[in-house]
Structure 1
Amino acid sequence: MGLLEAVAESTLEGLALASKSDPDGAVGRLQIVADLADPTIKRVGRFGWRATSASVVDQTAVALNADMGVTTRALPTHICGKATAGSDCRSQDGKGPELSDSDLELLVRYTSLLAVPATRHFDGEQPLGIHAEKILAQTPAETSLQVQAENMMQSSVARGRELFVQARCTACHAATLQTGRTHRFAELRGQTIRPYTDMLLHDMGAELADTYPQGRASQQEWRTPPLWGLGLVEKIDAKVRYLHDGRARTLEEAILWHGGQGQASRDRFKAMDADDRRKLIDFLRSL
């Protein structure tokens, strides 16, 4: 997350400006949010479903408070209900933050500096990789089949990447960004990253709308989610669901739910033959 935080606001402003001339009308908007520590300071949002947090520390504090009921100095009061039980909740606020500044800082450092998962099946990747010890127990024929399978997957992923670009998915899922030179963690500065997001708000159509607009974002607008690590999510949770409300059971379903500014890319995906659609999905799974 620190790498996304390290992208300069001017870069995101440039992406928003350039999108105004997008041939598919995929015009992205900046979400502008108040800094939790000093609400008079306005920043470009980049985290959350609607880019409602501008920094890792703010996103962490919000998640602790809204999702887990844990207070910090940044958000010292609980989100309590209006029923009788709410008074018990509110009575806890006077006891002070439940998480210290130092513990919050540790969480922020961890989430900021946790490495991005490595891509897989890229051109030239060695198919034996870390599984070399298993290869020693295989027959030459088994090894040959494994190498052939990996070479075929690399070819499929390479073609899928081309199709991803041809469908203009990159109009919103920007493949490459550059981090700035001023982030507090030196190791995050001046890097070329490939998160596949522009971190802008895009209108995704009425079918993906909810009833909870936030900040400048309407009910139909969502931040473009980063795609890096996408192919490993199902390794973490075999029952993984996709999109903001988990309605999509597969990556293909997630693409087919795209409407609004994503509709033209969705229609190009639908027009592909089954083999090309599979290759594009193979590419997404390689991230």
Structure 2
Amino acid sequence: MSKDKIVIRVLMVVGIVISIYSCVDPEALNDTDYSEWLSGGSQTVFDNGAGGFSSAFPHLAAEREKVHSIGDGAFGQTFVTAPAPQNPGLGPIFNNVSCTSCHINDGRGKPPLPGEQLSSLLIRISIPGTDVHGGPNPVPGFGGQLQQRGVFGAQPEASVRIDYTEKSYTFADGTPYSLRFPTYTLENPYTTLPAGVMLSPRVAPPVFGLGLLEAVDEADILALADPDDRNDDGISGKPNYAWNVVEGKMTLGRFGWKAANPSLLQQSAGAYNEDMGITNFVFPHESATGQPQYDGRDDEYEVSDSLLHSVAFYIRTLGVPARRAADDAAVLQGKKLFVDGKCSQCHVPRLRTKTDVAFPEISNQVIFPYTDMLVHDMGPNLADNRPDFDATGVEWRTSPLWGIGMTRIVNGHQNFLHDGRARTLLEAIMWHGGEAEASKEFVRTLSQDDRDKLIKFLESL
């Protein structure tokens, strides 16, 4: 059989599977249905290797595929100090030089090792009060995000020291475990920091699948909210509303560790501006404007409108890796424990994207992200004590769990939570508190065998 015939036959089989999937009533599916393998619906990718987070939607019109490719190239571009023939405009103060420097392989960042500079972890800063739109109040002379690097001749805002204190605990069966509590200190500030500065460390989150989350109807997200805990189950997730710069109004926050970003376009534009010092039509002023480091280069945008839109589209059209071993007996038992422990009340397994006639590839997809996209009280141990619009200092957005089991393969580490303090999935669970305190206690009292099954389930996502 020729290679062409083999390819055609494979495509026919894939097409049949997708066709069957699209005709199935998702409400009738049970735990053993094959749809659980398709985390991203028809936009699921089958790559379990190091590139598993970096594949485009497998079903993308040719013209959109071209835009995705342009955005892919821009996502990897390294910016340099102006003037320069290519990619000028870095800084004058910045955190990193490209999108991929933080989101390595489109995946998860981690805190630095001892002696390393911050790279895929940044520090949001503010002082008590709010800005004109109800968001975090910028620190005079520093803004809302610390830039720990500067171009030649520009002094970084400060350096960051991270110290850890290890604390020991035991599971109910006597098995020991430990958690490391981080302390963040700003050192060598270029000018005096005012009193009361609040710090919020944030590692770069994975960027795949975000277009599908952006396409979930707002009404479906709000239907999951229960801010007053009226059903008395101890879970009181709520939406976060943030200032939408493009629309000029408050809209539902969907992205970022506290759901304080309303769209992928704004998130991309903000990262260019704050992380790299690159101006654009959404954020046209340097992050250092008004500071001594300001270079006065507000004459034209340092990334074009079309390129910014392409980068946002690239992120919007990154597919989701398929489940692995979803039908394994131990995985299914782990899933039952996940449900029994009420983990699924925040990490909601299944959502559906809304109908979008202008973008059929993303329309009406049943997806399995394991998030409700709401913010929850996670207890004092995880608190950053820094409000972000409607999210308080103890609230965080429910992180999607899809693809989490591939972190070690794609990114070479297992650092989880907002600042990477957890070194394993089990540690991440044991950090949970607040609304998740009962779920954490449920896991603490499991046997070693059941804990292993729970982790095996998470690793299959």
Residue 241 (str. 1) matches residue 450 (str. 2): no
Q: Which moved more, 1:51-60 or 1:4-13?
A: 51-60
2:277 and 2:358 map into 1 onto residues whose CA distance is 29
Structure having the higher helix fraction is 1
2:244 and 2:343 map into 1 onto residues whose CA distance is 31
When residues 183 and 260 of structure 1 are mapped into structure 2, their CA distance, relative to the original with a 3 A threshold, is: farther
Structure having the higher strand fraction is 2
Correspondent of 2:259 among 36, 43, 51: 51
Letter in 2 for 1:228: W
| TM-score between the two structures when normalised by the length of structure 1 | 0.83
Partner of 1:3: 212
Q: Is the 8 A contact 2:254 2:262 kept in 1?
A: yes
Shift of 1:68: 2.3
1:175 and 1:22 map into 2 onto residues whose CA distance is 20
Letter in 2 for 1:106: S
Q: Is the 8 A contact 1:24 1:264 kept in 2?
A: no
Correspondent of 2:362 among 181, 184, 188: 188
Partner of 1:151: none
Q: Is the 8 A contact 1:24 1:261 kept in 2?
A: no
SS of equivalent residue, structure 2 residue 224: helix
Letter in 1 for 2:363: R
Correspondent of 1:97 among 298, 301, 308: 301
1:182 and 1:266 map into 2 onto residues whose CA distance is 39
Partner of 1:213: 387
Q: 1:206-235, CA deviations, whole angstroms, 9 ceiling, x for partnerless residues?
A: 110114321011110000010001011111
Q: Is the 8 A contact 1:6 1:183 kept in 2?
A: no
1:183 and 1:169 map into 2 onto residues whose CA distance is 34
Q: Is the 8 A contact 1:179 1:192 kept in 2?
A: yes
Gaps of 5+ in 1: 124-153
Partner of 1:30: 239
2:338 and 2:447 map into 1 onto residues whose CA distance is 14
2:228 and 2:354 map into 1 onto residues whose CA distance is 21
When residues 119 and 95 of structure 1 are mapped into structure 2, their CA distance, relative to the original with a 3 A threshold, is: same
When residues 18 and 229 of structure 1 are mapped into structure 2, their CA distance, relative to the original with a 3 A threshold, is: same
Shift of 1:23: 4.3
SS of equivalent residue, structure 1 residue 208: coil
When residues 183 and 174 of structure 1 are mapped into structure 2, their CA distance, relative to the original with a 3 A threshold, is: farther
Shift of 1:20: 2.7
2:434 and 2:448 map into 1 onto residues whose CA distance is 24
Q: Is the 8 A contact 2:379 2:394 kept in 1?
A: yes
Residue 87 (str. 1) matches residue 261 (str. 2): no
Q: Which runs of 4+ in 1 moved over 6 A?
A: none
When residues 250 and 82 of structure 1 are mapped into structure 2, their CA distance, relative to the original with a 3 A threshold, is: farther
Identity, % of aligned pairs? 42
When residues 233 and 183 of structure 1 are mapped into structure 2, their CA distance, relative to the original with a 3 A threshold, is: farther
Residue 78 (str. 1) matches residue 255 (str. 2): no
2:263 and 2:338 map into 1 onto residues whose CA distance is 29
SS of equivalent residue, structure 2 residue 455: helix
Partner of 2:315: 111
When residues 78 and 211 of structure 1 are mapped into structure 2, their CA distance, relative to the original with a 3 A threshold, is: farther
Shift of 1:66: 1.9
SS of equivalent residue, structure 1 residue 43: strand
Shift of 1:18: 8.6
Aligned length: 252
Partner of 1:67: 275
CA RMSD of aligned residues (A): 1.7
SS of equivalent residue, structure 1 residue 207: coil
Shift of 1:77: 1.4
When residues 19 and 268 of structure 1 are mapped into structure 2, their CA distance, relative to the original with a 3 A threshold, is: farther
When residues 65 and 22 of structure 1 are mapped into structure 2, their CA distance, relative to the original with a 3 A threshold, is: farther
Q: Is the 8 A contact 2:385 2:392 kept in 1?
A: no
Partner of 1:120: 324
Q: 1:95-116, CA deviations, whole angstroms, 9 ceiling, x for partnerless residues?
A: 2211111111111111111110
Gaps of 5+ in 2: 1-209
Shift of 1:42: 2.3
Partner of 1:133: none
Q: Which moved more, 1:62-71 or 1:14-23?
A: 14-23
Q: Is the 8 A contact 2:286 2:294 kept in 1?
A: no
Q: Which moved more, 1:98-107 or 1:74-83?
A: 74-83
Shift of 1:183: 7.0
Q: Is the 8 A contact 2:414 2:425 kept in 1?
A: no
